[in-house]
């Protein structure tokens, strides 16, 4: 087995700098995308409620047609 190699302090600094920059970018991006995703979820929920209401009305109309006296 080969003994561990001394890593240059400049390489260590570069690695940790990239790590910190990546974490900062991820946090900023997350805070940017979170409100957009919440808005999309809200719009999708409203659309689903509207679709459910239309289906309920269609069912009621179909039942009303079935209950006619002209069977």
In which residue are the tokens 């003994």 written? Answer: 3
> What is the residue extent of each domain of the chain?
34-70
Q: How many helices (H) and strands (E) does the chain have?
A: 1, 0
Look at residue 13 in the predicted model and tell me its pLDDT: 98
User: What is the number of alpha carbons within 13 Å of residue 20 lying toward its C-beta?
Assistant: 6
- Is the pLDDT at 66 greater than 80? The verdict is no
Instruction: Render pLDDT for 11-51 as a digit per residue (tens, 0 to 9).
Output: 999 999 999 999 999 999 999 999 999 999 999 999 999 99
* pTM for the whole structure: 0.59
């Amino acid at each position: 087995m080969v003994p561990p190699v001394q890593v240059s302090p400049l390489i260590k600094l570069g690695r940790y700098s990239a790590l910190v920059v990546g974490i900062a970018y991820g946090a900023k991006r997350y805070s940017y995308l979170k409100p957009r995703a919440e808005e999309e979820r809200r719009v999708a929920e409203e659309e689903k409620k509207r679709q459910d209401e239309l289906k309920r009305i269609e069912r009621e109309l179909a039942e009303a047609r079935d209950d006619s006296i002209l069977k």
